[in-house]
Amino acid sequence: MKGGQPDFVQDMFQQIAPHYDFLNRLLSLRQDVCWRRRMVRRLNLSAGSRVLDVACGTADVALEVARRYPQSLYRAVGVDFAPAMLVLARKKILRAGLSSKILLAAADALDLPFADETFNAITIAFGIRNIQDKRAVLKEFFRLLAPGGTLAILELVVPDRGWAQKIYLEYFNRVLPRIGRLFSKHSFAYSYLPESVARFPSDRDFRGLMTASGFSNVGCRRFTFGTVALFTGKKHQASRSDT
C-alpha cells in the first residue's frame, strides 16, 4: 500500500499540479474557496502575526490570510514539498501583488526549518490526510507555535451517517474519480482521494491526538453536510504559576 507514503504523495502532486486548482473548484462546486475562508476567519489574528500554512499547495490559504488580515498580518509563510505546486503558488502571489506578505519554502511538514515558537497561527488545509505520521506532525506544529497560538486543520471527511453519507460515497467513489481522471489525465490521483479520506481518523480520535500532542481547547466543527471538518486547538499561554 503506497498511498500516504511521502514519495508517492509528492510525485502525485507534482503531476496533477497544472490541473489542481481547476479540479478543486469543479469537484467541490467552488465550495473549497468557502471552506478555506471559514478556516482563515477562525484565526482572528492580532497585530504583527506570523502565520505558517503547511502543505500550502498553490497558496490559496496564504492568499486568503493576506487578503483577510491586511493590517494585522506581519507575514504568512507557505511550505510544501512539491515544487510544481510552489511554482504555481508563486505565480498567484505575484499576480495578487502580495509578494511582500507571503513567503514560500520547499519543506517537508515533518521537518520544518523554523525555530521554536515562531508562529502565531498554523494552518493546514486538505494536507494532513496525506501525512502518515500524524502524531509527529502535530508535535512539529506544537513546537513551532508561540504560546497563545492557534492551530487550524481543515480536512475532507466522510459524513457520519444517513443520506448524506450515501450520496457522498456515491459521488466520491464513482463520479469524482472519473471527472478527475478525465481532466488531470492522472490514472489514480482522484481514486486515491476518496481512499485517503476514508482512512482519516474519526473526529474523536483526531481530537484525542491533538490533545495528546499538547493542544488545549481542542474542537471540531463540521460543515457542508458533514463532508468537511475544521479542527482547532490552542497552544496554552503560560501563566505566571506555570513558570
Ligand X SMILES: C[S@@+](CC[C@H](N)C(=O)[O-])C[C@H]1O[C@@H](n2cnc3c(N)ncnc32)[C@H](O)[C@@H]1O
Q: Residue 131 in 3-state DSSP?
A: coil
Nearer to ligand X, 82 or 210 (CB): 82
Q: Residue 15 in 3-state DSSP?
A: helix
d(CA 62, CA 98): 10
d(CA 192, CA 206): 21
Beta carbon of residue 18, minimum distance to ligand X (angstroms, whole number): 13
Beta pairing partners, 123: 53, 152
Nearer to ligand X, 73 or 82 (CB): 82
Beta carbon of residue 32, minimum distance to ligand X (angstroms, whole number): 7
Q: What amino acid is encoded at 237 in this protein?
A: Q
Nearer to ligand X, 54 or 73 (CB): 54
Neighbouring CB atoms inside 10 A of 7's CB total 9
Beta carbon of residue 2, minimum distance to ligand X (angstroms, whole number): 14
Q: Interface with ligand X by CB under 6 A: which residues?
A: 6, 9-10, 13, 36, 55-57, 60-61, 80-82, 85, 108-110, 125-127, 130-131
Nearer to ligand X, 57 or 177 (CB): 57
CA-angle at 193, arms to 110 and 157, nearest 5°: 80
Q: Which residue number has the CB closest to ligand X?
A: 57
Beta pairing partners, 223: 228
Burial of 122 (0-12, 13-18, 19+ CB in 10 A): buried
Beta carbon of residue 237, minimum distance to ligand X (angstroms, whole number): 27
Nearer to ligand X, 4 or 236 (CB): 4
Beta carbon of residue 119, minimum distance to ligand X (angstroms, whole number): 16
